[in-house]
Chains A and B, each alone.
Chain A
Amino acid sequence: MQNTREQPLSPPSGFRPGDLRRKMRLSEDIIEATLFFVGFLTIFITISIVIVLGDQALLFFADPAVTVWEFISSTHWQPAIGEFGIWALVSSTLTTSAIAILVAVPLGLSAALYLSEYASPKARAILKPVLEVLAGIPTVVYGYFALLFVTPILQTIFGENIGVYNMLSAGLVMGIMILPLISSMSEDALSAVPRSLREAAYAMGATPFEASVQVVLPAALSGIGAAVIVGISRAVGETMIVAVASGATSKFTFNPLEAAETMTAHIARISGGDLSYNSVDYNSLFAIALMLFLVTLVLNLISQWVVSKFREQYE
């Protein structure tokens, strides 16, 4: 030991076979266990969501005033007189989401194509942040925009046919809100297509446009499909735009010019008021939320699966 100072760089003298044996490191094990627990906590969140929503939803269906069949088949939702037909809320969720997707998919895809195929680095540096800002604006602000900017414009176009509250305005603005999401996911999909494919097209005498639209775009199609699915899931779950702009009456209609309440807007409105716990009304909200959760869960799972398949294809 006293020699260590004089020979700082020599290997330790004397090797015992036990030196390399695995040692007990209690603190390491505790840390790993803690980290695993923290990671596992996220699963606990999902389980809680299912239990909480499921439990209250069961209470709702257990109520004598409610039947499961009525819930999934009726088109009238009037808790005051004991009518709970989810279609009155689903119809407007479908309508607003469909409008949003019709706006967001073509625009988002075009934006992605422009950014990935045409834009110079300089143009990109300006255009990309615009989309990022759009993505960062709180949805309640989009609600304000829908009600106080888009609706008045629609009123000058459609006149008497359209009310202050309508699904068209909410859907259009929701489309703008989802646009950045679709565009950035599509861009990722486009850039994931290997260079060699693009080069193959160029080598055949394709113009850059032909290469991107006829070769790269079809190759990225499943990734773009995943983007659309996530977009749908976002539209279905979006609350504030519809709560502000599409009206507060549950009504079975697919006419975008009419006012109708979506599933999310209904939950927001009813729970925002004074509602006594454990009433049928209160429990019905959990049944709606459970449906929302399941629908978005399935959509997200499909999208993730598509994306992972897509990645595999090019790895």
Chain B
Amino acid sequence: MAKYTYPQSQDLQNFVNARYRTAWVWQLVFLSALLIAILSLSALLLNVADGAFGYVVYEFKKDPATVSETPLAELTQPQLLALLQENLSKGAYTKLDKESPMEKRSRDELYNLLIERVIQIKIEKTYNLFDSLLHADVIRAEVAEKYPDATLEFRSWLTPAFLTTPMSSKAEFAGVRTALLGSLWLVAIAVALALPVGVGAAIYLQEYARKSFINNIIQTNINNLAGVPSIVYGMLGLAIFVRAMEAFTSGAIFGVTDSNGRTVLSAGLTMGILVLPLVIINAQEAIKAVPDSIRQAAFGVGATRWQTVWHHVLPSAMPGILTGSILAMSRAVGETAPLIIVGASTFISIDPASPFSKFTALPIQVYQWTARAQAEFHNIAAAAILVLLALLLTLNATAIFLRNRLQKRF
């Protein structure tokens, strides 16, 4: 073989160094992909924060001084009630009274009603957080020039009241109370369906199923279901739960009369089916991780298969199953498309009280408000996103906590 066909000595040194340089350059290229991911995530979060806080310019349609001589903030509940009766049309008052008796409403609720219906704030313009922080002077000058009578106020759109007030057609009075409760109902129903069915299916596939055609089909099918677009589940829910099973999901067979199939129950069941493959796959992983020695030990002392599963495999796999279920829950909290299809109501101010209630949910609210043209709705969409992300964060933190706390057994 011809010698010296490879670079030698100094030549070799340079050659190897050149190869290292190439590797280094590519390393930077690869790293930049992760930097883009980090940048995107930061931009997304900052973009939401940007919308959730900032200056607001508003005017009163009616001067508060003409409504009451004492400053509004100092009025008591009976005084507010009297003012509302005085200033609202009879029809409007009766309608409000019918929704929930006016006498029984709290002072704060009445106060908000007075501002909303009588004084009538009109939002002229809203500014986002970074504008508000960086160009406060420009904003002040612009407001002084264009809206001389208006008030300029720095406002957080995410307030305690935002969490506790129901929907409103005016952005400044709208809250996510009904949406938050709707989301919780949804998740509860979805988990009630998906957890037992999912864990059962996982146990069957991991502990009982022998290699057979039908079991192979079941496994492949579950993997496929996990990849079906969520909107298709929405169509399934619409056709089966909302329409075919309307008598059940509307509560008609339980004596509920004022409802159709577009209830929180229909949506919850749809969501349960949507997360089912996820629950199964996660539970399978958890069961797979239980060492065989445990099963052999159980069989060795004469346990039946179910005894082995129930007393040994399931307790060991439980942390993993719980973690997987919580992750499935966070999927259910964030899904939007199926809810649109099965008919989440977009404007609803009454708390969901039973499975047969009409409902809305957090992501639906985000969608609706984002789709509105007025800027102030984008602000409350941002605030609603913060609530949604906080809820997801809580769920995931719980999952991580459970995993670390319970899974150090093997």
Contact = CB atoms under 8 A, between A and B. Distances in A.
On whether A and B touch (CB less than 8 Å), the answer reads yes
B112 interface: no
B324 to A, nearest CB: 14
**Majority SS of interface residues in chain B?**
helix
Contacts of B215: 39
A17 interface: no
B220 to A, nearest CB: 7
A210 B34 CA distance: 21
B209 to A, nearest CB: 7
A-B pairs with lowest CB-CB distance, top 3: A237-B229, A138-B334, A209-B23
B27 interface: yes
A179 B48 CA distance: 21
B166 interface: no
Interface in B307-362: 330, 333-337, 340-341, 343
Interface stretch (B63-71, B73-81, B152-160, B196-204): B196-204
Given A38-B196, A114-B31, A141-B44, 5 more contacts: A42-B280, A118-B27, A131-B37, A144-B382, A264-B337
B252 to A, nearest CB: 17
Interface string B217-242: 11011111101111110111011100
A286 B381 contact: no
B196 to A, nearest CB: 8
Contacts of B374: none
B284 to A, nearest CB: 11
A238 to B, nearest CB: 7
Contacts of B32: 110
B378 interface: yes
Given A25-B304, A28-B305, A139-B336, A237 B37 contact: no
Contact of A143 (B29, B203, B230, B370): B370
A53 B30 contact: no
Contacts of B31: 114, 118
B150 interface: no
A164 B234 CA distance: 28
B30 A113 contact: yes
Nearest to A51: B239
A49 B228 CA distance: 10
A18 interface: no
Contact of A39 (B201, B235, B273): B201
B366 A237 contact: no
Interface stretch (B86-94, B119-127, B169-177, B384-392): B384-392
Contact of B33 (A31, A114, A138, A233): A114
Contacts of A293: 228-229, 232
A86 interface: no
Contacts of A234: 227
Contacts of B276: 42, 45
Contact of A41 (B30, B201, B224): B201
Nearest to B363: A140
Interface in A127-163: 127, 130-131, 133-134, 136-145, 147-149
